[in-house]
Amino acid sequence: MNASHDATAPRSLLWFRQDLRLQDNPALHSALQRGAVIPVYIESFGEEGDWPPGAASRWWLHRSLQSLTAELQALGAPLILRRGAALQELRRLLQETGADAVFWNRRYEPAVLARDRSLKQALRAEGLIAESGNAALLVEPWDIRNQSGKPFQVFTPFMRQLLKQLAVPKAVPAPRTWPGVGRWPASLPLDALELLPKLGWYQGFEDSWQPGEAGAHRRLEAFVASALTGYSERRDRPDLPGTSRLSPHLHFGELSPRQIWRALPAAERAGGKYLAEVVWREFAHHLLYHFPHTADQPLREEFQRFEWREDPAGLRAWQRGATGIPLVDAGMRELWRTGWMHNRVRMVVASLLVKHLRLPWQSGSRWFWDTLVDADLANNTLGWQWTAGCGADASPWFRIFNPLSQAEKFDPEQHYRQRWLADVSAPSAPIVDLKETREAALAAYQRMRKA
């Protein structure tokens, strides 16, 4: 089916970013209200500061763009792919198409936020319409403040305030037809974006994931139908299918938190355990927006004085899942093979790195950034600073996970460890003594406090 077009209708560019869906897409809805729409994706990783997408994220993005392209083609529209500076490519497309408006959905990473602000200002200064919408969050990070008018740094009151303010709009369905433009501008082939990493370790991802909007909705429906009821009891068990595994779909905007909220039963919407996980993601974005330096610096300034160790061999053993500590090694191998790790295990492997190995949390953050398909700057930052005790509402430094007792409690029959360590011929000796390194970590913390 070819999209019909009206040569006299206003034309708009729809700039896809991390909102790779057609349902419940505010920017798409706004663009369609005007007339003809030219959908475009621009690879402009050079404008994302120190945090361009990591290798696993690039694999997911490649597959998600494939899925979005197919959805648009079914409506008679191509996805126009470009590569380069975003403002420059948008200007070219505006000139090529005669469009006079650009619509997009907001992102919140510091470098991208700054780029988008200047880009919007530049387009408007040229007499063009430039509008952004909220497709990624329940509530904008600047719309929630504590009683003192300051950003929240504790989760529970943040969640309470968010639920108090929350007003989820009605869902906007995907378009059934696409108003075309007659002659579409030129597009690069997807492979020209060179998203897929040269190291083909990601082949195993194909068995674990279905990137794209359709895959996101299938996973949401399956979770609500089967795992949500026992979520509180099963969510900490890596040996059981108790989590939603929606995080990469949320990061790439194949699904929105508002769609999740609508899919949840009323009791869960009122503040259930799973909704709290969705709101934790909101808390992460709230913090990154108000404290943008925390992507690589601790929120609690005293941790700038902490005595981190240098141990390249220890870091490498941790990355490879070769620490000799079964639950940690199983988690790191799950990460390498699937691009994902169960959240309970993430906390355990992170605790081993920053407390037993006493390596900087930034080293772990960077590894996760490159290897997780759900690598999200806000979530990643909050998670690592929580474990390291240096962030908002953080776990106290003296809370040091014992990976052996954690394994006994949350993988009691060893199914998780056996699955991911099945190809390990003989277990290696642990690279650290858990008792000695725990005591050393506590001593280092006390020295920091006295400094």
- Domain membership flag for residue 412: yes
- Domain membership flag for residue 176: no
- Domain membership flag for residue 195: no
Please tell me what DSSP assigns to residue 429.
Answer: P
Choose, from 48, 96, 280, 402, the residue flagged as catalytic.
280
- Domain membership flag for residue 226: yes
Closest CA to 189 of 41, 60, 76, 85: 41
CATH (domain of 257): 1.25.40.80
pLDDT at 2: 40
- How far, CA to CA in Å, does 107 sit from each of 110, 144, 309? 9, 17, 35
Contact 419, 338 (CB under 8 A): no
The radius of gyration of the chain's CA atoms, rounded to the nearest angstrom, is 23
Which structural domain range is residue 356 located in? 293-450
Active site residue 59: no
The residue out of 272, 290, 308 marking a domain boundary is 290
Let me know if 451 is exposed, middle or buried by CB neighbors in 10 A (0-12, 13-18, 19+). exposed
Active site residue 277: yes
3-class state of residue 396 by DSSP? coil
Helix ranges (H only) for 352-433 are 361-371, 377-388, 403-410, 415-420
HEC assignment per residue over 13-81: EEEECCCCCCCCCHHHHHHHHHCEEEEEEEECHHHCCCCCCCHHHHHHHHHHHHHHHHHHHHCCCCCEE
Single-letter residue type at 145:
R
Choose, from 59, 178, 209, 384, the residue flagged as catalytic.
384
Active site residue 343: yes
Distance, CA of 305 to CA of 301 (rounded, Å): 8
117 with 142, same domain: the answer is: no
Q: How many CB atoms lie within 10 A of CB 191?
A: 10
Choose, from 184, 201, 261, 308, the residue flagged as catalytic.
308
420 with 440, same domain: the answer is: yes
The residue out of 257, 272, 290 marking a domain boundary is 290
CATH (domain of 62): 3.40.50.620
Active site residue 280: yes
Single-letter residue type at 381:
T
pLDDT at 1: 34
Tally of structural domains, the chain: 3
143 with 129, same domain: the answer is: no
Question: Average pLDDT of each block of 10 consecutive residues along the chain (451 residues)?
Answer: 57 98 98 96 98 98 98 97 98 97 98 98 98 98 96 97 95 92 94 93 92 98 93 96 97 98 93 95 98 97 96 98 97 97 98 98 98 98 97 90 98 98 88 97 95 81
CATH (domain of 348): 1.10.579.10
Choose, from 59, 104, 361, 386, the residue flagged as catalytic.
361
Backbone phi and psi for residue 101, each to the nearest 5 degrees, phi listed first: -150, 150
364 with 278, same domain: the answer is: no
Distance, CA of 33 to CA of 275 (rounded, Å): 32
Starting at the edge strand found earlier in the chain, the sheet holding 11-16 runs: 80-83, 36-43, 11-16, 101-105, 129-133
Query: Would you give the distance in Å from CA 387 to the centre of its chain?
Result: 18
pLDDT at 380: 98
Pairing mode, strands 101-105 and 36-43: unpaired
- Domain membership flag for residue 282: yes
300 with 435, same domain: the answer is: yes
Active site residue 308: yes
3-class state of residue 300 by DSSP? coil
229 with 100, same domain: the answer is: no
Distance, CA of 217 to CA of 223 (rounded, Å): 10
- Domain membership flag for residue 203: no
225 with 86, same domain: the answer is: no
- Domain membership flag for residue 439: yes
Distance, CA of 50 to CA of 75 (rounded, Å): 37
The residue out of 134, 161, 180 marking a domain boundary is 134
315 with 410, same domain: the answer is: yes
279 with 307, same domain: the answer is: no
330 with 430, same domain: the answer is: yes
Distance, CA of 428 to CA of 317 (rounded, Å): 11
Choose, from 48, 277, 334, 367, the residue flagged as catalytic.
277
247 with 109, same domain: the answer is: no
Element (H, E) at 82: strand 80-83
Active site residue 134: no
Choose, from 48, 140, 261, 343, the residue flagged as catalytic.
343
- Domain membership flag for residue 182: no
Contact 82, 41 (CB under 8 A): yes
297 with 445, same domain: the answer is: yes
Single-letter residue type at 15:
W
Distance, CA of 203 to CA of 63 (rounded, Å): 12
Contact 12, 34 (CB under 8 A): yes
